């Protein structure tokens, strides 16, 4: 999707004016994520767009490629690591997608505009509390639209 502009990382507390850190903004419902994406000049990606951003035309298993997860690539639970909270964005450059997008796997799930059963929406990417399987570019999860989790954030996109 060459006409899609993607934020390099999930939105931070500083970018959203709700704090002075580079932590991803979390604890936001789906409607709040839509609003924050619009304030940033974009929108939420569809689930298909998110997967394209993460997997690319070569259909990578993980955003960084097909090599297995290691703790330097993404903040996930595994290999003796059990993080208890999200970390500042951009700390895992080894896990970047080839086009430079960071934090597509781990740290925080990302709201998409994709619909799930009931009033749910699709979230992608896994979080600090997720095993590496959840960081696969094809893995998806759902959350109720009113859910406010410390493990779900927003990454805006914009179509040219």
What does the pLDDT look like over 106-146, one tens digit per residue?
999 999 999 998 999 999 999 999 999 999 999 999 999 99
pLDDT, tens digit, 9 for 90 and up, residues 1-48: 568 999 999 999 999 999 999 999 999 999 999 999 999 999 999 999
The domain total for the chain is: 1
Per-residue confidence band for 81, with pLDDT thresholds at 50, 70 and 90: confident
131-141 per-position pLDDT tens digit: 999 999 999 99
Q: Is residue 79 predicted with pLDDT exceeding 80?
A: no
**Rounded CA separation 14/19 (Å):** 5
What CATH number does the domain containing 40 carry? 3.90.1580.10
Amino acid 156: pLDDT:
98
The whole-model pTM stands at 0.95
pLDDT at 2: 61
Specify the pLDDT at position 78. Answer: 86
For every residue of the chain, which 3-state class applies, written as one string?
CCCEEECCCCCEHHHHCCCCCCCECCCCCHHHHHHHHHHCCCECCCHHHHHHHHHCCCCCCECCECCCCCCCCCCCCECCECCCCCCCCCCCHHHCCCCCCCCCCCCCEEEEEEECCCCEEEEECCCCCCCHHHHCCCCEEEEECCCCCCCEECCCEEEC
Domain hosting 32: range is 4-159
Q: What is the predicted pLDDT for the residue at 1?
A: 55
Q: Which of 51-55, 77-81, 92-96 has the lowest mean pLDDT?
A: 77-81
């Amino acid at each position: 999707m060459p006409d899609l502009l993607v934020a390099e990382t999930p939105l931070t507390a500083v970018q959203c004016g709700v704090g002075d850190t580079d932590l991803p903004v979390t604890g936001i419902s789906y409607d709040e994520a839509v609003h924050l994406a619009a304030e940033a000049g974009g929108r939420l990606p569809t689930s298909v767009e998110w997967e394209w951003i993460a997997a690319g035309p070569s259909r990578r298993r993980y955003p960084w490629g097909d090599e297995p997860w290691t703790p330097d690539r993404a903040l996930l639970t595994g290999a003796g690591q059990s993080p208890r909270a999200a970390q500042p964005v951009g700390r895992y450059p080894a896990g970047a997608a080839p086009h430079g997008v960071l934090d597509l796997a781990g740290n925080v799930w990302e709201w998409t505009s994709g619909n799930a059963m009931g009033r749910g929406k699709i979230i992608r990417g896994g979080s600090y509390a997720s095993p590496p399987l959840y960081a696969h570019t094809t893995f998806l999860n759902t959350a109720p639209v009113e859910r406010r989790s410390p493990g779900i954030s927003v990454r805006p996109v914009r179509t040219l």
